[in-house]
């Protein structure tokens, strides 16, 4: 799947289906994931897992690398729903970062995972020094996405796209609830699970088409 990196956020007139501010503390990444999951009932399990992963990574990035992580800091998460796609964004309280997603995406952590999973992603300035980092995830099970212009456009899954075994995404989601500090996603283009620690300085990384192998890796490195 090709990801488009763009500076065009969700239309300013759009009203989020859900919006919540969180304290800028590392423990809040878990709270963000817990708050998102009930909102994704009815969404394809693989797509829902991608949404939770992307928002978790954006939240962790805001906490670690922006003023949101300073004492008293906060960040805001928003979710927008459209037929065939889900748009999410995290607004932080500003930093010296120039917003260049392509240059900042470092394998296998954080923004790299966002660019690997999302159909489209980008940044937009907010009030003052704040910045919004957004991503769009298409849901192939929900039918075609809106016509270009409703949300940032990008090429969807191509001929080489593959999906995980039925039930694997939901099983991994339940497993990760008890194993914090790890992120995993299904790479549709390569047909493998990819897993890494949320810590950007960690070198722990693995990939496998077999979910049981991924689960054993996470368990062994807890």
Residue 169 has phi, psi (to 5 degrees) of -65, -40
Q: Burial level of 138, CB count in 10 A (0-12/13-18/19+)? A: buried
How far is CA 177 from its chain centroid?
16
Beta-carbon-side half-sphere exposure of residue 200 (alpha carbons within 13 Å): 16
Q: How far apart, in whole angstroms, are the C-alpha atoms of residue 6 and residue 153?
A: 9
Structural domains of the chain sorted by starting position, each given as residue range(s) with its CATH number in brackets:
4-143+158-220 (3.30.565.10)
Contact status, residue 93 vs residue 71, Cβ threshold 8 Å:
no
pTM attached to this predicted model: 0.65
Q: How confident is the prediction along the chain (222 residues), in pLDDT tens digits per residue? A: 445 444 445 555 567 899 999 999 998 988 999 999 999 988 888 888 899 989 998 999 899 889 999 999 999 999 998 888 899 999 999 998 877 777 776 655 567 788 888 888 888 888 888 999 999 998 876 555 444 443 333 333 344 456 777 778 778 777 877 777 777 777 766 777 777 776 655 656 677 888 888 888 778 777
Q: How far apart, in whole angstroms, are the C-alpha atoms of residue 108 and residue 53?
A: 13
């Amino acid at each position: 799947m090709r990801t488009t990196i763009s500076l065009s956020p969700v239309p300013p007139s759009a009203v989020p289906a859900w919006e919540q501010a969180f304290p800028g503390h590392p423990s809040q990444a878990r709270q963000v994931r817990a708050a998102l999951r009930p909102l994704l009932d009815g969404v394809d399990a693989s797509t829902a897992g991608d949404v939770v992963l992307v928002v978790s990574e954006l939240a962790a990035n805001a906490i670690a690398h922006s003023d949101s992580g300073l004492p008293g800091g906060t960040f805001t998460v928003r979710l927008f729903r459209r037929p065939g796609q889900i748009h999410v964004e995290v607004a932080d309280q500003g930093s010296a970062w120039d917003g260049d997603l392509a240059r900042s995406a470092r394998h296998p952590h954080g923004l790299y995972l966002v660019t690997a999973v999302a159909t489209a992603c980008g940044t937009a300035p907010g009030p003052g020094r704040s910045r919004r980092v957004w991503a769009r995830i298409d849901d192939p099970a929900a039918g075609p996405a809106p016509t270009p212009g409703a949300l940032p456009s990008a090429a969807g899954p191509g001929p080489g796209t593959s999906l995980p075994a039925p039930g694997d995404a939901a099983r991994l989601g339940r497993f990760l609830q008890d194993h914090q500090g790890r992120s995993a996603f299904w790479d549709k283009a390569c047909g493998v699970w990819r897993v890494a620690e949320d810590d950007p300085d960690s070198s722990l990384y693995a990939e496998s088409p077999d979910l049981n192998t991924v689960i054993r890796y996470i368990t062994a490195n807890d």
